Amino acid sequence: MSMQSGRVDGKVALITGGASGMGEAIATRFVREGASVVIADMDASRGKALEERLGLQARFMPLDVRSEGDWNSAVNEVERQFGPLSILVNCAGILKESSLEYTTPEEYRLLTDVMQFGVYLGMRAVAPSMRRDGGGSIINISSTAGIVGYPQTFAYTAAKWAVRGMTKAAALDLADGKIRVNSIHPGNTNTPMIQCNDYSVEDVPLKRNASAEEIAHLALFLASDESLYITGAEHVIDGGFTAY
């Protein structure tokens, strides 16, 4: 009886924020489809539990996405254990609801450090490894808050718009190395850190939130060779909300 090969067989993926929510769903799907997966997160308890659940194809690695040293160490360790990186998913994120006038400089820096500066550091750290491997796929998790504006999420929205722009610039800079860079823009998704945008499911044409697994389906497509001609693009998955 022949075994069906997975859609990312033999690929090596690093997923930030990989211990829970969308990151956990993406890690789980990638392992199921044949990839070796590094679960990068600051939550060691959840990360190690997921590593144990996913088996030999998964490794937990502590990583603060704001630290250049952490990124360099992580990439070196991934290459030592698995080989060159094929896939990076920048999924680490935090959400604090606050309007412009009530967002403190400290809060603004925290959110943009994690979700903007961390994405920059990650893309920069993995690019040499992907070049050595002859190419790769970088997937940046943004949000519908990177497509339209939302009230009460000033710093979060600023970071997610930045991710959209950085994705396009990086796609142009890295194309000569056959490194594709795309962004995913989920609407409200049922995760522990639900993106609390100011709308209810009644405002969504499909009348429901997304599941984390549905985001993982899209990430899998962008990570696989099925999307080799797609780069520099934003992929909205929001049940039609931004179609209005």
Catalytic residues, by residue number, are: 156
Residue 8 backbone phi and psi in degrees, to 5: -130, 35
User: Are the beta carbons of 234 and 143 closer than 8 angstroms?
Assistant: no
Strand partners, 41: 62
Per-residue H/E/C for the chain:
CCCCCCCCCCCEEEEECCCCHHHHHHHHHHHHCCCEEEEEECCHHHHHHHHHHHCCCEEEEECCCCCHHHHHHHHHHHHHHCCCCCEEEECCCCCCCECHHHCCHHHHHHHHHHHHHHHHHHHHHHHHHHHHCCCEEEEEECCHHHCCCCCCEHHHHHHHHHHHHHHHHHHHHHHHHCEEEEEEEECCEECCCCCCCCCCHHHCCCCCCEEHHHHHHHHHHHHCHHHCCCCCCEEEECCCHHHC
